[in-house]
Structure 1
């Protein structure tokens, strides 16, 4: 009886070992070391002649081959972007984009490889076809110089952006200040912060957007919000009217630059539900909030 039990245990351990080893091997098959990754990159860009194979072609032939591959890749990128643009367009009235703008656009777009970025460039071209002159070359140059990670950071910032008053400029709200006037020489202001870092936008990411020229470097403070009139406030597709509970209420915020405003408009509106809930919770503590 004891021997049978021992055999069952041994068999079970052996089976677990096999399964664990198999799982590890399968997992490791998706992980490349730095040398393998370098070799993969070299092969993709046709510059791998000195890595692991003989020189079947001379240097000029290899250069010609690499140039041919690069041209094919650029052609493919442009064809993908124009297909995305075509599929996104409908029976709307079209404008006529400036020929020079198109030349510059295609010159930049041919180097856009990532799927999400290609979709954005397709959206840009559609916008220009619908309304010529709506997308500046400066905005295109800024976008071209952004990495995918930087673009995703900007997208996250755009999702958190709001605007208020009669100005439609996008802002990143950072807090609400209540200025106490009874003793003006004493700093008794009450500050209530909105933690953007809780929504994948820490200050380090804001610094990146500032370096890119998409967000202005200085944290600004609004004028005192009137007790007598309601203040229009919009978050993405949601509109509200705010009336402060106390005198001396102001907003603190970072403002998008003109280029940032332009690119944010191209991204469209998209709610972040958790952020929206937190935002409304903060606003309701200091304002009478009405859905507009």
Structure 2
């Protein structure tokens, strides 16, 4: 019995010592963060060592006499990971609170959805991505059903670069008034017939690349299931028929100047449509002017 008591005390002391090291390590990390700008241009070896230290994987870089036992190193890395996850989620919760209102809501968010959200978001430390996850949480709390679990899973695999690409696509996109059907207009044309077959102005294409969205970007968005890769078309409009859109909070109408005028566009997927609600309205005036000019053969664009 006495030997068991001594063993338990040893384990307890060992745990306290390990926790102390973890806190000290976290404090050291904060110092490292303050110097992150100066180390941004470090060599690949230096950056690798920096990650090794931050994630407690640097033992093999130390003399054997200074290496802690393997079991201790594994315990320390696990605790550091748990601390990072806790800190990440607390940051996201604080940011989400800023997007929530104090108005009473009738529906209650699903607890299972929140549990799934935590598992996916707890590893996010990038501040920009944390902000987007916070918007997702606030949006789901305010309006349950806004973000599906499939959308969460897809968003978890997105990089900050891909998120910025989605924001660029949103800045060029038009939608209906409820932002349910979102599309990036790519051009327009008149259905070919005998009298207009040789008219070179019958079909127009918008240069989306000039607006900052290349075809390669479209393919990247499609790979992330945010837009459909194949272009879609509107129905054939009669002369004088109007289609009303919303362009980032601004009304925008297309009126056909000829019979059988058609708009072409890249349509957002259901996942892309849900995530588009994270992006603030941002009108690109140059793109709007270009669209009015390049599609003027078949449409009058007002807005």
Settle same-fold status: TM greater than 0.5: yes
* 1:209 maps to which of 221, 230, 240: 221
1:249 has 2:249 as partner: no
Q: How many residues are matched?
A: 265
Distance 1:65 1:174 in 2: 54
1:188 is displaced (CA, Å) by 6.0
Distance 1:56 1:144 in 2: 35
Give the equivalent residue in structure 1 for 2:72. 61
Alpha carbons of 1:222 and 1:260: their partners in 2 closer, same or farther (altered >3 Å)?
A: same
1:51 has 2:61 as partner: yes
Higher alpha-carbon deviation: 218-227 or 75-84: 218-227
Instruction: Give the TM-score, by structure 2 length.
Output: 0.79
1:233 has 2:279 as partner: no
Q: What is the CA deviation profile of residues 172-218 of structure 1, one whole-angstrom value per residue up to 9, with x for unaligned ones?
A: 11111133422587796732111111232211111111111111121
Give the equivalent residue in structure 2 for 1:10. none
Give the equivalent residue in structure 2 for 1:20. none
Give the equivalent residue in structure 2 for 1:12. none
Give the equivalent residue in structure 1 for 2:287. 275
1:85 has 2:134 as partner: no
How do residues 125-140 of structure 1 correspond to structure 2 at under 5 angstroms?
125-140=137-152
Q: Secondary structure at the match of 2:59?
A: coil
Distance 2:89 2:258 in 1: 56
Give the equivalent residue in structure 1 for 2:12. none
Higher alpha-carbon deviation: 116-125 or 192-201: 192-201
1:66 is displaced (CA, Å) by 0.7
CA RMSD in angstroms comes to 2.5
- Structure 1: 5+ residue runs without aligned partners? 1-26
Question: Is the contact made by 1:166 and 1:232 (CA closer than 8 Å) also made in structure 2?
Answer: no
- Structure 2: 5+ residue runs without aligned partners? 1-36
Alpha carbons of 1:155 and 1:53: their partners in 2 closer, same or farther (altered >3 Å)?
A: farther
1:242 is displaced (CA, Å) by 2.4
Higher alpha-carbon deviation: 265-274 or 130-139: 265-274
Question: Is the contact made by 1:179 and 1:188 (CA closer than 8 Å) also made in structure 2?
Answer: no
Give the equivalent residue in structure 2 for 1:3. none
